[in-house]
Amino acid sequence: MKCIVGLGNPGREYETTRHNIGFLVLDELAARNGLSFRRSWRVPARIAKGTIGDEPVWLVKPQTYMNRSGAAVGPILRKGKGAVEDLLVVFDDTALEWGRLRVRAQGSAGGHNGVQSVLNTLGDGAFGRIRVGIGLKPDKVSLSDYVLGPFSAAERETLDDVIGRAADAAEMACGEGVARAMNIFN
């Protein structure tokens, strides 16, 4: 079983913010593959179970808020009997220009608190990740205001394309492996 986790924050006020791009990518994956999210009663997450291609998959949107994402990811992997290597995390990255993707097989948190929470919970960084560039924050704007802010008009014009490419990368990583997705999308 593969587990694809999109990082974000629950609640309407966060739905269309840069920090929720992981949730938006998972919504696209669910729509493409006819999957529906349901609230889990055992772990703080919304989960869609099904297949992508021939691969059994769980799409997971933690409902713990970004900085506590690991509190949902650890129990999900244990419940689904998944290995750390079967995990793929999709999240926003201010170190990448808008719309740029970086697929990696493992690594550090790179300053992202949600990924750090997952690393702290799992104790292992050997999981795949798709970093979706949201661009550098403007001067005189705090990081939290930037990532929790809505997409700009220019970003909204290409948002569907960015989400679509990230979903393509996730599907390829799931079906053909992270290394193949890295070769195509980086």
Known catalytic residues are 19
Closest residue by Cα to residue 4 from 179, 130, 96, 147: 130
Q: How far is CA 19 from CA 13, 49, 79, 99, 125, in A?
A: 12, 24, 27, 13, 21
Residue 153, number of CB atoms within 10 A of its CB: 7
Closest residue by Cα to residue 9 from 62, 75, 70: 62
- C-alpha–C-alpha distance, residues 115 and 159, integer Å: 22
- C-alpha–C-alpha distance, residues 47 and 3, integer Å: 10
Question: What's the chain's length in residues?
Answer: 186
The token duo for 173 is 């990583």
- C-alpha–C-alpha distance, residues 151 and 170, integer Å: 22
